[in-house]
Amino acid sequence: MSVDPLRWLDERAAERVRAGLRRELRARTWRGEAIDLASNDYLGLTRHPEVVDGAVEAVRRWGAGSTGSRLVTGTTTEHERLEAELAEFVGAEAGLVFASGYAANLGAVTALAGRGTLVVSDAGSHASLVDACRLSRARVEVAPHRDVDAIDQILFQRTEERALVLTDSVFSADGDLAPLTDLHRVARANGAVLIVDEAHGLGVRGDGGRGLVHEHGLAGEPDLVITATLSKAFAAQGGIVLASERVRAHLIDSARTFIFDTGLAPAAVGAARAALRVLRRDPDMAARVLARAADLARIAGVPEPDSAVVSVVLGEAQIAYDAAVACRERGLSVGCFRPPSVPEGTSRLRLTARANLTDAELDIIATVLGDVLAHARGQAAVPA
């Protein structure tokens, strides 16, 4: 008798459809007809001529691929320049580029943890930090969101010699900020290392977009490690760890996602370097992102955010999904966050601001969102 070993996939897919949780891929066209409030292109640099030219020039010089892992043939002088430039920009001693931000988090946490280590992670940490915890072979404790006292208590009671504290600087779903000064104080008092994922902070928060760590005056602290992605404000791809020279050296020797992964492609490196040059030349871009985020929050009728992320909670997954579809049908691309990305009953539209959003675009956004959110909120208010 023949048995389909993957029949359970059909059952799981049907469950997701009933719960409004089925995901689908939607291909963009190169023309980009919709107004973009869904991407993480915070500075609006993805199509900036200087950034595009940076990618093209790197391809012409180095070729399409990096040809190997960083330890074999995948490191170019472009990689090393990007590492030095980003480290100097955020006030760190050194940097190490990975193939993605996800890989940077996996590499940093697993290389700095291991057996005999306690890892304390904020409940709102990004999935890459969650997976890093699972791979770390350390004892893991998940602390309530932004609860410094809870983290202090967990660290104080530990029996392990070593400890790490993990947090996003800007949390991706709600756009709220980590209490970095207090977290660093508690980590240092308990002999722990603080790892901060600046994926949504770099380019948006801090002096000229130098990130929330820099804004809190913690740049260059020896017991603090920054991870970040190059795929958001820097309009490219890849990730980076920014820390002391001895942390960098340890990661080169120990981070499996660095040792065994192909190096970041030259085009991404060239684009990221160009994006950093543009930001340095126009440091007010970061402030413009936050100003546009305030505009979006006003239009959506939600509190002004501390980041580029404007979260519009609608409740049930199907309501949020239908609202996102309605926006898309009217030429507005928005993010739709549903479980497991957010807790049950808090599905939402996630709007992301860009520094180059125009007043004309905001007028269109106001019309579309006004209609869509009025309908969605009306549905949410109807008793089941």
Q: Which of 261, 281, 301 is the last residue of a domain?
A: 281
Burial per residue of 294-331, b for 16 or more beta-carbon CB atoms within 10 angstroms, e otherwise: ebbbebbebeebbbbbbbbbbbbbbbbbbbbebbbeee
378 vs 22, residue with greater confidence:
378
User: Residues 242, 293: one domain?
Assistant: no
pTM, entire model: 0.94
Q: What percent of the chain has pLDDT over 90?
A: 92
Domain identity same for 73 and 209: yes
Which residues have a Cβ under 8 Å from the Cβ of 28 and sit 6 or more positions away? none
Residue 90 and residue 171 in one domain: yes
**Looking at the predicted structure, is the pLDDT value of residue 273 above 90?**
yes
In a domain, 148, yes or no: yes
Residue 8: strand, helix, or coil: helix
For residue 324, being part of any structural domain is answered with yes
Q: What's the pLDDT tens digit per position in 59-95? A: 999 999 999 999 999 999 999 999 999 999 999 999 9
Residues 115 and 216 in one domain: yes
* φ and ψ of 359, to 5 deg: -65, -40
For the stretch 130-179, pLDDT in tens is 999 999 999 999 999 999 999 999 999 999 999 999 999 999 989 999 99
pLDDT tens per residue across span 322-358: 999 999 999 999 999 999 889 999 999 999 999 999 9
* Structural domain total, the chain: 2
The verdict on residue 219 lying in a domain is yes
What's the average model confidence in pLDDT over 199-221? 98
Q: Are residues 311 and 168 in the same domain?
A: no
Q: Given 281, 298, 316, which residue is the final one in a domain?
A: 281
Instruction: Tell whether 33 is covered by a domain.
Output: no
Does residue 31 lie in a domain region?
no
β pairing state of 139-143 and 162-168: unpaired
Out of 281, 305, 337, a domain closes at 281
| Residue 357 belongs to domain spanning | 284-381
* pLDDT value, residue 116: 96
Whether 254 is covered by a domain: the verdict is: yes
